[in-house]
Amino acid sequence: MSAYQREVEIAQHAVTSAAVLCQNVRQGDDFAALAKSDNSPVTVADFGSQAIVCRAIRQAFPDDLIIAEENADALRSDDQAELRGRVVAEVQRVLPGADETQTLAWIDAGVSRDAAPRVWTLDPIDGTKGFLRGGQYAVALGLLINGQVEVAALACPALDDDGAIFWAVRGAGAFQHTPEGDKAIAVTPTANSAEAALCESVESGHSDHDQSAQIAKTLEIARPSVRMDSQAKYAAVARGDADIYLRLPTRAGYEEKIWDHAAGYLVITEAGGKVTDIEGKPLDFSLGSTLKNNRGVVATNGKLHDTVIAAIVAAS
């Protein structure tokens, strides 16, 4: 891990600080959400979280590019002055002294969409709808070197009683940070699909629930599917709470965003699992902001992977 020790330290601290901001917002009585062009929600916490993480990356690694989900364009509109003020106020609770100009600039540090030899990818709140409804969400950060995910930090503030922080380095394993220190995590040894636990997205717009049910039937899975938001599903498989995570395409032509998968992908892979698309192809993170060479995502404990892919093919 020594080659990326500083990156791990910065990434862990960044997602932890962002999670504090998100929980501060969540404990309030007004999330102040607005709708983006695709009708998905974005909140004070999305913007604030991105500002916190991008600032940390910019200060530590000023030459690195950042591909993050949000930008500050909407906040600069005159009719969003109240929302802009809320974002700045929440950032100031974590970073006293931060001002409006700095906050907007930190958010916009993540507007890159191009591949680069060294680039971070960030989802400041993965699972915004889960965040809004009181379900699972995550702050997900990954470092790509020449298109390969090398470092991941994943904060899941609603997982467990006090939240959970996961991190991984390629070739060095996956870990959950605990008060007693970092604990290595590992996928389950389940080899019989009938004994497997399957998790999928809560939102039917993110994954085809009907096809998932058909696949579960083919695999003879007896347990009801566990539905949760965000890359917390990746964490669940990585530490053995579940065996399979399916994200099945819901519409033709959709390209998965790298910020929705990079961190979780490495955490599961380093915990001994396997992540591919629905055809069994490796995920290609080298093409900028999307997984344009892939369709959907399948994550498993590894032992079940070929069986799951075969079931998906049979259901297609």
97-133 CB burial, b ≥16 within 10 A, e <16: ebebeebbebbbbbebeebbeebbbbbbbbbbbbbbe
Same domain, 169 and 250: no
Q: What DSSP letter does each residue of 218-267 carry, written as one string?
A: HTT--SPPEE--TTHHHHHHHTTS-SEEEE---STT---BGGGTHHHHHH
For residue 46, indicate whether it is catalytic.
yes
Residue pLDDT, tens place only, 267-281: 999 999 999 999 999
pLDDT band at 125 (very low <50, low <70, confident <90, very high): very high
pLDDT at residue 204 above 60? no
At 259 the pLDDT is: 98
Q: What is the pLDDT of residue 32?
A: 63
Q: Report the pLDDT value the prediction gives residue 207, as an integer from 0 to 100.
A: 56
pTM metric for this prediction: 0.95
pLDDT confidence bin for 202, thresholds 50/70/90:
confident
Establish whether 114 is a catalytic residue: no
Phi/psi for 44 (5° steps) reads -50, -40
Query: What pLDDT was estimated at residue 31?
Result: 63
Q: Which domain holds residue 304?
A: 193-315
200 appears as a binding residue in the annotation? no
- 121 and 255 co-located in one domain: no
Of these residues, 43, 103, 121, 128, which one is catalytic? 128
Q: Are strands 118-126 and 198-200 parallel, antiparallel or unpaired?
A: unpaired
123 has binding-site annotation: yes
- Annotated binding-site residue? 125: yes
Q: What is the average pLDDT value for the chain, to the nearest integer?
A: 93
Residue 100 marked in a binding site:
no
Catalytic residue among 46, 229, 243, 277: 46
**pLDDT tens digit string along 68-93?**
999 999 999 999 999 999 999 999 99
- E strands along 20-161, which residues? 34-35, 41-42, 65-68, 118-126, 138-145, 148-156
- The model's pLDDT over 238-265, given as tens digits with 9 standing for 90+, comes to 999 999 999 998 889 999 999 999 999 9
Q: Which of 184, 203, 232 is the last residue of a domain?
A: 184
Radius of gyration of the chain (CA): 19
Domain end residue (candidates: 184, 211, 246): 184
pLDDT at 3: 84
Q: Is 215 annotated as a binding residue?
A: no
Statement to judge: residues 78 and 12 lie in one domain:
yes
16 pLDDT band (50/70/90 cuts)?
Answer: very high
CB within 8 Å of 182: residues ≥ 6 apart: 167, 175, 176
In the predicted model, what is the mean pLDDT of residues 168-180?
Answer: 95
Instruction: Confirm if 298 and 242 have CB atoms less than 8 A apart.
Output: no
For residues 226 and 172, membership in a common domain is answered with: no
Q: Are residues 145 and 207 in the same domain?
A: no
Same-domain status, 175 and 201: no
Q: How many domains does the chain have?
A: 2
